[in-house]
Amino acid sequence: MSEKEDYLKGLSLLSKNESNYPTSPDEAQLESFENRFQGRDYEITFECPEFTSLCPVTGQPDFGTIYITYTPDKKCIESKSLKLYLFSYRTFQTFHEEVVNRVLNDFVKICEPKHCTVYGDFCPRGGISLKITAEYDREIDGLPE
């Protein structure tokens, strides 16, 4: 196996022309790859300005922007798998607070970053918008189980 093939081992979604989107975060598959700059602290930020989920009470759509900023350690999140993971919320009924905390938990479980912040900026419903931040710091929180 070449160095390139070894580096990309385990990524199954990137090379596919995916049209079958998962219908819930339970079905979605986050993938990671080796961080080739483990000796350096740097930040990666993802922004998903078209995030959608469903209200668990009314079933109506909720819209917002999800920001994920993290300092990788040994692994980085593959962006297409993250896109499909976040798309899986489109037909999933959940509260905004649950979205932000679940995204953080699932993200940390897959790539075990040094630090991660998930920020949800949700559009107003009933005249109130929500802005929610959840953070993980390995030195404080330890490694996920």
Helix intervals (H) in 1-145: 3-7, 79-87, 96-111, 138-141
- Give me the catalytic one of 48, 62, 76, 111: 62
Q: Is 116 assigned a catalytic role?
A: no
Secondary structure (3-state) at 76: strand
55 labelled catalytic:
yes
Residues in Cβ contact with 13 at an 8 Å cutoff, skipping those fewer than 6 apart: 29, 31, 78, 80, 81, 84
Q: Choose the catalytic residue: 6, 26, 55, 111.
A: 55
Query: Which of 97, 88, 78 has the alpha carbon at shortest distance from 33?
Result: 78
| Catalytic (active-site) positions | 55, 62
